[in-house]
């Protein structure tokens, strides 16, 4: 076995929750020794639902989108397998991949318009997809058999061997669950897993470090649908008949409940949720009349007692019973001579930039040029358009007019992740970080994403990114213990410095900072000012918004003052300070000027 494989296996074994290991052993012994044919059939159904839920976790848990179309993909997979097996006589090795492909193709077709929607609009749109699929199954009788469905679906046959029931069928279904779970686990671990979490929890921050959140959601939606199609194919072979029931809302409700009860981000949660809710009606068969009530109470109790699912509760129990050693302090490499890969030839030209929000002109005909090594300060009263200009430059807002040219390339209207990959870094007015991640991983993710995107370090390991991230955090005076703390646990000043470190870790050509000194004490401000001067000296261009004129006057090469979206003054700090329009904008007109009494 190759060394890398042995290391990965060792890490997986070390990270395995003993509770899950014990549960797996119990399940295997039960299936082989104690379960009769009926119990084995129930276990097979639970395995099919586990595969369905693993796919749904990708959409609901990891992409953070409340999709109600998973039952539609489940039903489509079942119908494709039934049609190909009964009418064309195709074997399982053809019908199963066809079901995966059909569900993925439908998801890709509807994803482009649907994934643009947010929150409840997305949920309603995906519900409509499910209802349309149900209507087609009921009314297209010549193809689907209508309300009666399609019967005579043969059992799974592999290499001439029919797998009808019992241990062999369980081995097939749960073997596919294991493969599907392994694929999902590999997808959500490492740098990709961090990027998925960032896109879910802080999409604006993800875009600012070069993560294409839209493409990520598309991929997870399509892959999750393929899991649903595969589960539907197995369901058709197990029952031998496919009817419109596989497309109805109760299937979707069951899938959602299993995800919530088991845990929406852990593969083990899909398995636990499926096993529990498939067996729950069997355990309470004596109270069949009250089945829906028991089902609802179980869901409600789990949401209240374990909001992150049973696997989340198991993780907390494991930490209590077998507390792990604290992570070692990061190995901080010696400080390199340069903080950035920014060439001194960097040039940003903003020409006649304009933006309106309804009837309000937020930015009107703003023009300036910024070159490598310069620090441009933006000042002005609240509502003068400063942050809007930064949003236009970094792609968060699209301009109504004007050009934004970076090194000869017009980037106006580009998506934020494309602009970030071109080398424009951003820190926001209110720090936007992934609060459930550590400070170290927030910065490492930016470093890994940006440098891989620009092919500085192709195939770079996350460990290397973490080592370099530690050096940036150290520069911003974030200590070793704070690096391993979740961002949500850090004070405001530390969070702001983490965000600046994250922006620097992407090695931008241009660094855009919105009130970076807010919330910092005098010593922290001076340290920040020194760092920004070093960046400019090494060829980086900076745009800094700050209300503290004293902070900017000793830092910026020149200032631009805005009022009502227009440039009213620009030049050196002394020249701007003495400009009467600037004084009037900040303090109001003096008596006898501009019509003042």
Domains of the chain: 39-279 (no CATH), 342-421+539-597 (3.40.50.300), 424-507 (3.40.50.300)
For residue 453, CA distances in Å to 173, 209, 423, 553 come to 39, 10, 10, 36
Give the global pTM: 0.87
Whether the per-residue pLDDT at 19 is higher than 90: the answer is no
The C-alpha atoms of residue 237 and residue 241 are separated, in whole angstroms, by: 8
Q: Considering all CA atoms of the chain, what is the largest pairwise distance in Å, rounded to the nearest integer?
A: 99
As a whole number, mean pLDDT of residues 281-304 equals 74
Tokens encoding 201: 């929890």
Return the residue matching tokens 């989340």: 312
As a whole number, mean pLDDT of residues 534-560 equals 89
Residue 597 confidence (pLDDT): 34
Backbone angles phi, psi at 430, to 5 degrees: -105, 125
Least confident range of 12-21, 282-291, 311-320, 532-541: 12-21
Cα end-to-end distance, the chain, whole Å: 87
User: What is the DSSP pairing of strand 241-242 with strand 409-410?
Assistant: unpaired
Whether the per-residue pLDDT at 11 is higher than 50: the answer is no
Tokens encoding 191: 């740098």
> Higher pLDDT residue, 577 or 293?
577
Nearest Cα to Cα of residue 32 among 147, 170, 229, 135: 170
Residue 12 confidence (pLDDT): 44
Q: What is the DSSP letter of 333?
A: P
Number of residues assigned to the chain: 597
Tokens encoding 417: 């992740």
What SS3 state is found at 493?
helix
Are the C-beta atoms of 181 and 227 separated by less than 8 Å?
Answer: no
Are the C-beta atoms of 171 and 31 separated by less than 8 Å?
Answer: no
As a whole number, mean pLDDT of residues 43-66 equals 95
The C-alpha atoms of residue 494 and residue 486 are separated, in whole angstroms, by: 12
């Amino acid at each position: 076995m190759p060394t890398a494989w042995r290391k990965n296996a060792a890490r997986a074994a070390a990270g395995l929750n003993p509770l899950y290991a014990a549960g797996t052993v119990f399940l295997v012994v039960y299936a082989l020794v104690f379960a009769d044919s009926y119990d084995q059939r129930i276990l097979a159904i639970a395995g099919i639902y586990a595969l369905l839920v693993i796919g749904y976790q990708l959409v609901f848990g990891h992409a953070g989108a409340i999709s109600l179309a998973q039952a539609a993909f489940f039903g489509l997979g079942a119908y494709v397998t039934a049609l190909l097996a009964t009418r064309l006589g195709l074997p399982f090795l053809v019908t199963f991949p066809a079901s995966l492909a059909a569900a993925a193709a439908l998801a890709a077709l509807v994803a482009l318009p649907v994934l643009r929607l947010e929150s409840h609009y997305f949920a309603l749109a995906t519900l409509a997809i499910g209802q349309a699929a149900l209507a087609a199954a009921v009314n297209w009788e010549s193809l689907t058999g209508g309300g009666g469905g399609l019967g005579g679906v043969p059992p799974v046959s592999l290499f001439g061997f029919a797998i009808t029931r019992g241990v062999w069928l369980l081995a097939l279904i749960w073997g596919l669950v294991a493969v599907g779970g392994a694929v999902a686990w590999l997808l959500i671990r490492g740098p990709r897993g961090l990027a998925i979490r960032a896109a879910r929890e802080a999409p604006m921050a993800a875009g600012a470090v070069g993560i294409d959140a839209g493409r990520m959601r598309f991929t997870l939606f399509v892959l999750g649908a393929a899991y649903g199609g595969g589960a539907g194919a197995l369901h058709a072979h197990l029952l031998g008949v496919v009817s419109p029931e596989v497309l109805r809302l109760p299937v979707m409700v069951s899938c959602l409940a299993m995800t919530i009860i088991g845990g929406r981000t852990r593969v083990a949660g899909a398995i636990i949720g499926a096993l529990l809710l498939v067996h729950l009606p069997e355990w309470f068969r004596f109270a069949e009349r009250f089945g829906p009530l028991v089902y609802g109470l179980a869901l409600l109790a789990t949401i209240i007692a374990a909001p992150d699912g049973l696997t989340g509760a198991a993780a907390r129990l494991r930490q209590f019973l077998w507390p792990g050693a604290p992570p070692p302090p990061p190995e901080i490499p010696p400080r390199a001579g340069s903080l950035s890969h920014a060439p001194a030839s960097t040039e940003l030209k903003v020409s006649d930039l304009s933006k309106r929000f309804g009837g309000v002109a937020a930015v009107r005909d703003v023009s300036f040029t910024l070159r490598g090594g310069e620090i441009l300060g933006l000042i002005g009263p609240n509502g003068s358009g400063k942050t809007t200009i930064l949003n236009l430059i970094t792609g968060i807002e699209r301009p109504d007019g004007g050009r934004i040219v970076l090194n000869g390339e017009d980037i106006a209207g580009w998506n934020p992740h494309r602009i970030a990959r071109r080398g424009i870094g951003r820190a926001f007015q209110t720090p936007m970080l992934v609060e459930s991640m550590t400070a170290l991983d927030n910065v490492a993710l930016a470093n890994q994403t940006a440098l891989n995107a620009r092919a500085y370090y192709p195939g770079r390991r996350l460990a290397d990114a973490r080592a370099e991230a530690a050096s940036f955090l150290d520069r911003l005076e974030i200590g070793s213990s704070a690096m391993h703390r979740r961002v949500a646990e850090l004070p405001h000043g530390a969070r702001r410095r983490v965000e600046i470190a994250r922006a620097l870790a992407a090695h931008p050509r241009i660094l855009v900072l919105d009130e970076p000194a807010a919330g910092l004490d005098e010593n922290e401000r001076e340290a920040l000012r020194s760092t920004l001067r070093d960046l400019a000296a090494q060829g980086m261009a900076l745009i800094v918004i700050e209300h503290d004129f004293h902070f900017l006057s000793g830092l910026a090469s020149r200032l631009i003052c805005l009022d009502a979206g227009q440039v009213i003054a620009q030049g050196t700090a002394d020249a701007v300070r003495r400009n009467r329009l600037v004084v009037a904008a900040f303090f109001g007109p003096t008596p006898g000027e501009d019509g003042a009494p």
